């Protein structure tokens, strides 16, 4: 079996080496001819999988993306050719939820907020939206959910419409990029909707850049409109609109899902899918490879409950550092790609033990996802 995998998939060599002849490739240089003998093609979102890329493949039996988003894959074309496809749904939901939580603490400091008084509007209540819902519940922060497709499908949670979402203090977007159908998400936040936001609201986009009209946002900024935007994703990556960058409150290079766990879980999910397809027992698991985190944090009794929540969250992931590097260095498509490719190892809360002692809010700390200390 000839397996081609993208070089940004952590632990791909460890997972796939025994299954066949593995070839690692870069999205920058891969050609249709090189893939001619592929049986299995494994990518992340930087490789566009379409008729052009697969033009020479004759034996292709599986395409997988180790990501949640699938808009870089022409699924219709794969179906027409009868090639099974699988994504890694949910692999990085916790990572994105932790990114949003870090943004909330930093934005609360900037705006002089008490987070416990604010309401978060979650648009898209799938894997990421639900992971975020759980963390907000742990902290006792109010939220509203908007997800018409899930509501139609009979999800029993309580949902609101976009008009109610527009009243929330924070609006955070977690939808796939959908260009057609009953509930499209492309430019869901167009210039008209952006103009309705007031200067006390915060809008976070950590799903796909095309869900928010970047040119529209820039035009509003240039007209003097004050918007609090947190952008992890940008239209037309990696050729993003660099003029927009200095206007955003927090900006990052599409790394919300880039914890080591989030990325590696994607690889593991594709390993399981390939094993199933080839009816080989899946004997390897992520915990065989993930570095054991020895870091242990402690509650500080002299701080309030909310100060403790904040110090724990920011100790594990502080978006302000990523924002600082992004703002200082992003000046081209190449640099955008460079930041992503060289993103330092980031862990999820679950890798960090917290000693809570007799802290009254211990339950909340563990419900946030931290591991139990002594």
Ligand X SMILES: O=C(O)[C@H](O)[C@H](O)COP(=O)(O)O
Residues that bind ligand NAD (CB under 6 A): 68-69, 89-90, 92-93, 96, 123-129, 146-150, 174-178, 183, 185, 206-208, 232-233, 254, 256-257
How many C-beta atoms lie closer than 10 Å to residue 194's C-beta? Answer: 19
Nearest CA among 270, 255, 308 for reference residue 95: 255
Which residues are identified as catalytic?
A: 208, 237, 254
**Binder to ligand X among 170, 257, 259, 310 (CB under 6 A)?**
257
d(CA 344, CA 259): 9
Which residue in this structure is represented by tokens 């299954």? Answer: 19
Q: Minimal distance in Å, beta carbon 342 to ligand X?
A: 12
**Binder to ligand X among 4, 12, 42, 69 (CB under 6 A)?**
69
User: Between residue 168 and residue 197, which ones bind ligand X under the rule CB under 6 A?
Assistant: none
Say whether 45 counts as a known binding-site residue.
yes
**Binding segment for ligand X among 40-48, 244-252, 315-323, 348-356 (CB under 6 A)?**
40-48
Residue 150 binds which of ligand NAD, ligand X, none (CB < 5-8 A, kind-dependent): ligand NAD
What are the Cα distances from residue 160, in Å, to 123, 143, 164, 249, 310? 10, 10, 6, 27, 29
Sign of CA dihedral 214, 334, 9, 348: negative
Tell me the β-bridge partners of 24.
5
Q: Minimal distance in Å, beta carbon 138 to ligand X?
A: 23
Q: Of 256 and 364, which CB lies nearer to ligand NAD in the complex structure?
A: 256
Q: Minimal distance in Å, beta carbon 20 to ligand X?
A: 23
Tell me the β-bridge partners of 251.
231
Residue 277 binds which of ligand X, ligand NAD, none (CB < 5-8 A, kind-dependent): none
Q: Minimal distance in Å, beta carbon 15 to ligand NAD?
A: 20
Nearest CA among 287, 340, 289, 342 for reference residue 11: 289
């Amino acid at each position: 079996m000839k397996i081609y995998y993208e070089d940004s998939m952590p632990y791909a060599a460890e997972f796939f080496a025994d299954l066949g002849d593995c070839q690692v490739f870069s999205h920058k240089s891969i050609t249709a001819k090189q893939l001619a003998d592929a049986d299995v093609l494994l990518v992340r979102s930087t490789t566009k999988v379409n008729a052009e890329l697969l033009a020479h493949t004759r034996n292709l039996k599986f395409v997988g993306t180790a990501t949640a988003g699938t808009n870089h894959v022409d699924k219709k074309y794969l179906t027409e050719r009868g090639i099974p496809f699988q994504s890694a749904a949910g692999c990085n939901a916790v990572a994105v939820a932790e990114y949003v939580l870090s943004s909330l603490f930093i934005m609360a400091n900037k705006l002089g907020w008490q987070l416990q008084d604010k309401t978060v509007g979650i648009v898209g209540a799938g894997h990421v939206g639900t992971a975020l819902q759980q963390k907000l519940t742990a902290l006792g922060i109010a939220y509203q959910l908007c997800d018409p497709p899930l509501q139609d499908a009979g999800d029993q949670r309580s949902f609101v419409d976009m008009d109610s979402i527009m009243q929330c203090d924070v609006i955070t977007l977690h939808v796939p990029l959908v260009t057609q159908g009953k509930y499209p998400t492309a430019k869901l936040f167009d210039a008209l909707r952006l103009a309705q936001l007031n200067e006390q609201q915060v809008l976070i986009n950590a799903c796909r850049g095309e869900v928010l009209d970047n040119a529209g946002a820039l035009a509003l900024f240039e007209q003097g409109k004050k918007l609090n935007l947190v952008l992890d994703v940008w239209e037309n990556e990696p050729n993003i609109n660099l003029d927009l960058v200095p206007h955003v409150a927090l900006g990052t290079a599409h790394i919300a899902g880039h914890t080591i766990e989030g990325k590696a879980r994607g690889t593991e999910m594709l390993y399981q899918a390939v094993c199933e397809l080839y009816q080989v027992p899946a004997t390897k698991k992520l915990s065989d490879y993930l570095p054991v985190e020895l870091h242990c944090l402690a509650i500080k009794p002299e701080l309030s409950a909310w100060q403790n929540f904040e110090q724990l969250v920011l100790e594990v992931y502080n978006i302000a550092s990523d924002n600082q590097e992004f703002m200082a260095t992003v000046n081209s498509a190449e640099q955008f790609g460079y930041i992503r490719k060289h993103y330092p190892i980031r862990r999820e809360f679950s890798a960090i033990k917290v000693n809570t002692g007799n802290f009254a809010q211990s339950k909340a700390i563990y419900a946030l996802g931290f591991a139990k200390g002594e």
